[in-house]
Amino acid sequence: MTGTSSDLTRADVAELSRLLGSGEVSAVEVTRAHLDRIAADDGRLGAYLHVEDDAALAAAAAVDQARATGAELGPLAGVPLALKDLVVTEGVPTTSGSKILEGWRPPYSATVATRLAEAGTVLLGKTNMDEFAMGSSTENSAYQVTRNPWDAERIPGGSSGGSSAAVAGHLAPWSIGTDTGGSIRQPAALTGLVGHKPTYGSVSRYGLIAFSSSLDQAGPMARTVLDAAVMHEVIGGHDPRDSTSIDTPLARLADAAREGAAGDLRGVRVGVVRELGGEGHAEGYEPGVLARTREAIEVLAGLGAEVTEVSCPSFDLALPAYYLIAPSEASSNLARYEGVRFGLRAGDDGSRDLDEVMAITREQGFGPEVKRRIILGTYALSSGYYEAYYGQAQKVRTLITRDFSAAFAGVDVLVSPTTPTVAFPIGTRVDDPISMYAADLCTLPASLAGLPAISVPSGLSEGLPVGLQVMAPALADDRCYRVAAALEAAQDAARGHRLLDELGTPAGAA
């Protein structure tokens, strides 16, 4: 590490923390390097909706001043980060990717934002997203399309695509995403990152602009498993302001990642989910994705894990169940955007009554996908249809939870591809909602059951990233980090060996 701007934006959080703590670089230098990278590259990627240039540099300078005076600082003081634009942040524009909240500056901050600020991190800005987190490609943002740093003609995943593009494109060392049906794990997989959806209730939802209240969870997106675990430890834990918050201490997540990186998985029982890309269930899955998944599983077995196949039949029903439950909850949550209390107010020229103003505001403020899901959800909850649709979907949700319980009676973790395909070209699915929704086939079961799940890079297919998903029982997030870190370390070692082979044996080496 030389301390150049390029080096600083390519460093992981653990390295940045070391450099900052030792005084080799200043927080201002690290922040400025990332802001310069954003200025140079974000016009191409479209990762950010708002950048906090002056405020970020001021916060970094305050960290440097505190460090110079001998103040006791945490290990993350001065490390920059990005927040998905549905994480409410006091005084910072927060839109949830929607015109209906354009220009809104919240008077308070979400718990996850507060905890990261208290750890001394420096906010670079707010990242683009599918409007109200409804999408799998970040093409549904009301403001701009975000592009994949691996191939700018392809999507970066969604709905946390701005966060994934920022981290994969070295415009931030890590970021907060949110996951309702896969919106952390899917974009992480498609951009070569680590993304973890925590156990539902283990990270506060206070201050997250709601999509589906029984599903939404904030979590880390990072370039290494350890970095993700460290961020998770900062943002996790009980919060009395969230009625769904679990009053149970977090497991030692960073320690689990370090243990996994040692490469010993003896005694760990890994279940391969047949319904997620296995025999008889491979339709829609790209061969390259399945090949990388098999290879990753072989690596886990080589590290001592006991691998077996398990069947979870109800997983085949996760997609239709999700697209009844989530839109139903969204139709209720989005009713607050009526053009009266905050946000956009359209058509109020004095000639219209309140109902007309509300209708015009929603027509102009909500995009097509949000309208589609509000209509779906309202219909599913309507009199005469509630039990036939929403009620039946909740019964399927129970069956999926039972399948997980049965599987975890015999294994410690479950694995699958994170996504059926690699990142697809921009524009190819925008007019085909069913095809777009299928991007979340593998991530939906864990979301519906409220269980922890992580995506970790597992190689490339046609030059594009593939992710392996690791799922664990409720509150066993540490298992996800241990297994993911073991795979990451083994793959890093394999890449190192291949590089040495390509370069040839150094002179004088044994």
pLDDT at residue 361 in the model: 83
Residue 67 lies in a domain: yes
Residue 350 lies in a domain: no
DSSP structure string for 418-438: SSSSSPPBTTSSTT-HHHHHG
Residue 333 lies in a domain: no
Give the C-alpha separation, 296 to 490, whole Å. Answer: 10
Which residue among the candidates 183, 202, 331, 455 is catalytic per the annotation? Answer: 183
**Residue-by-residue pLDDT tens, the chain, 510 positions:** 445 667 899 999 999 999 999 999 999 999 999 999 999 999 999 999 999 999 999 999 999 999 999 999 999 999 999 999 999 999 999 999 999 999 999 999 999 999 999 999 999 999 999 999 999 999 999 999 999 999 999 999 999 999 999 999 999 999 999 999 999 999 999 999 999 999 999 999 999 999 999 999 999 999 999 999 999 999 999 999 999 999 999 999 999 999 999 999 999 999 999 999 999 999 999 999 999 999 999 999 999 999 999 999 999 999 999 999 999 999 999 999 987 777 788 877 777 877 788 788 888 889 999 999 999 999 999 988 899 999 999 999 999 999 999 999 999 999 999 999 999 999 999 999 999 999 999 999 999 999 999 999 999 999 999 999 999 999 999 999 999 999 999 999 888 766 556 655 444 333
Residue 286 lies in a domain: yes
183 noted as active-site residue? yes
395 noted as active-site residue? no
Residue 320 lies in a domain: no
Instruction: Give the relative orientation of helices 477-503 and 253-261 as an angle to the nearest 10 degrees.
Output: 30
Residue 83 lies in a domain: yes
Torsion of CA 222, 227, 232, 234, to 10 degrees: -120
CA atoms in the 13 A half-sphere facing the CB of 44: 14
507's tokens: 């002179």
Residue 357 lies in a domain: no
CATH number of the domain at 107, please.
3.90.1300.10
Of 189, 138, 190, 192, whose CA–CA distance to 160 is shortest?
138
| Residue span of the structural domain in which 228 resides | 5-315+402-500
Of 154, 166, 102, 20, whose CA–CA distance to 427 is shortest?
154
Which residue among the candidates 159, 163, 328, 447 is catalytic per the annotation? Answer: 159
137 noted as active-site residue? no
Q: 0.85 exceeded by the pTM?
A: yes
pLDDT at residue 510 in the model: 37
Which residue among the candidates 17, 84, 163, 458 is catalytic per the annotation? Answer: 84
CB 130, CB 373: distance < 8 Å: no
Q: DSSP 3-state assignment of 268? A: coil
Residue 115 lies in a domain: yes
Tally of structural domains, the chain: 1
Residue found by looking up tokens 């999700």 in the block:
322
pLDDT at residue 30 in the model: 98
30's tokens: 């690290």
Q: How many CB atoms lie within 10 A of CB 391?
A: 13
CB 28, CB 14: distance < 8 Å: no
pLDDT at residue 351 in the model: 76
pLDDT at residue 340 in the model: 76
